[in-house]
Structure 1
Amino acid sequence: MDLYSLLREFADSWALLALFVVFITVVVWAFRPGSRRVHDEIANIPFRHEDKPARDAGFAARPQEASK
């Protein structure tokens, strides 16, 4: 048996099984009990400073605009 056939057989069986287990583990971890609060906080990141936007120091501290 040549190397290609050996690797192909491994990929068709054990590697496929390992990747399936990793996928199921990630899905279970994402939907685990208690993770709802974390996902809600992450989903609300764009709305954190909705009433008062955060000050952007990069644009406010330009020397060209300060002298005008």
Structure 2
Amino acid sequence: MDFDYHAMRAFADSWGLLAMALFFLGVVGFVLRPGARQAADDAAAIPLKED
């Protein structure tokens, strides 16, 4: 069991951190892409629109 913990810890320290960093950069890039403001404004106005 001791080996499993160390193997998982090594994986999380290296590849897990890289995966989380790439996911974070992808989310930031998605939010800051051109045209995102208009899409966010349209989505925010949906509850205020009358049927």
Residues paired across the two proteins, number: 50
Offset from partner CA, 1:4-35 (integer Å, 9 cap, x none)? 10110110111111111111101110120112
Q: Distance in 2 between matches of 1:20 and 1:13?
A: 11
Runs of 4+ in 1 over 4 A off after TM superposition: none
Which protein, 1 or 2, shows the higher relative CO under an 8 Å CA cutoff with sep ≥ 6? 2
What percentage of residue pairs aligned between the two structures are identical?
42
Bigger Rg, structure 1 or 2: 1
Structure-1 separation of matches of 2:41 and 2:34: 13
Structure whose residues are more often helix by fraction: 2
**Cα drift, residue 44 of structure 1:** 0.6
Query: TM-score scaled to structure 2, two decimals?
Result: 0.81
TM, length-normalised to structure 1? 0.64
Could you tell me which residue of structure 2 aligns to residue 38 of structure 1? 39
The runs of 5 or more residues in structure 1 that have no matched partner are 55-68
- Unpaired segments ≥5 residues, structure 2: none
Specify the alignment match of 2:26 in structure 1.
Answer: 25
